[in-house]
Structure 1
Amino acid sequence: MFVITLRFLDKSKAPRFMDAHNEWIRRGFDDGVFLLVGGLQPNAGGVILAHNASAEEIGVRTQDDPFVAEGVVSAEILTVTPARADERLAFLRV
């Protein structure tokens, strides 16, 4: 499982790439990789919870985000190995 943080570097560029960024997010959900997307508060960027992919695949996918590619945000990928989880999240314990 992965937690991807996207922290703003240049918010002024965000509007130009928002549609492409949202399409990238949609593909992540359609591919079954993204579980949750949300904002870092206060207005600091975003967070993605991802699974069903290797670390290499997550790295490539993250670099394909137009926000990352265009310098709108910096990305950090955290790898999480779940040890305990509520039964509703049991599918994350691989």
Structure 2
Amino acid sequence: MHIILLRFGSNKSAAPDHMASHKDWIAKGLADGVFQCVGSLDAGGGAVIAHGEDTDALMRRVQADPFVKHGVVKAEVLGVDVNRTIPALDYLMARAPVG
């Protein structure tokens, strides 16, 4: 599992220009079943919980985010080795292929 932190970058003021395509990027991640949860950070920016995609593929996906491409946000991708969950989230313990 990965947690993606999207913190505002130097080009934050351009967010309205890229919001529609950023929302399309989020919708694609959800439709692909990779994004499990997407939300806003209290301090500004956003966070995504991702699962089922190896780190390299996820990094390519993150770099394709229009907000990342245009410097609206800086992305930080954190790998999480999940070892305990509530039963409904047990699937998060399955590891994606490495690579």
TM-score normalized by the length of structure 1: 0.96
In structure 2, how many angstroms separate the alpha carbons of the residues matched to 1:45 and 1:71?
12
What does residue 22 of structure 1 align with? 23
Amino acid at match of 2:21: A
**Deviation by residue 1:8-63 (Cα, 9 ceiling, x = unmatched):** 01321000000000000000011010000000013x10000000100001100000
Secondary structure of the structure 1 residue equivalent to 2:3: strand
Amino acid at match of 1:36: C
What does residue 87 of structure 2 align with? 87
Secondary structure of the structure 1 residue equivalent to 2:56: helix
What does residue 39 of structure 1 align with? 40
TM-score normalized by the length of structure 2: 0.91
Secondary structure of the structure 2 residue equivalent to 1:6: strand
What does residue 2 of structure 2 align with? 2
In structure 2, how many angstroms separate the alpha carbons of the residues matched to 1:82 and 1:29?
20
Paired residues in the alignment total: 93
Identity %: 44
Note if contact 2:12-2:71 (Cα within 8 Å) is conserved in structure 1.
no
* Unmatched runs of 5 consecutive residues or more in structure 2: 95-99
Secondary structure of the structure 1 residue equivalent to 2:14: helix
Amino acid at match of 2:24: E
Note if contact 2:36-2:48 (Cα within 8 Å) is conserved in structure 1.
yes
In structure 2, how many angstroms separate the alpha carbons of the residues matched to 1:25 and 1:88?
23
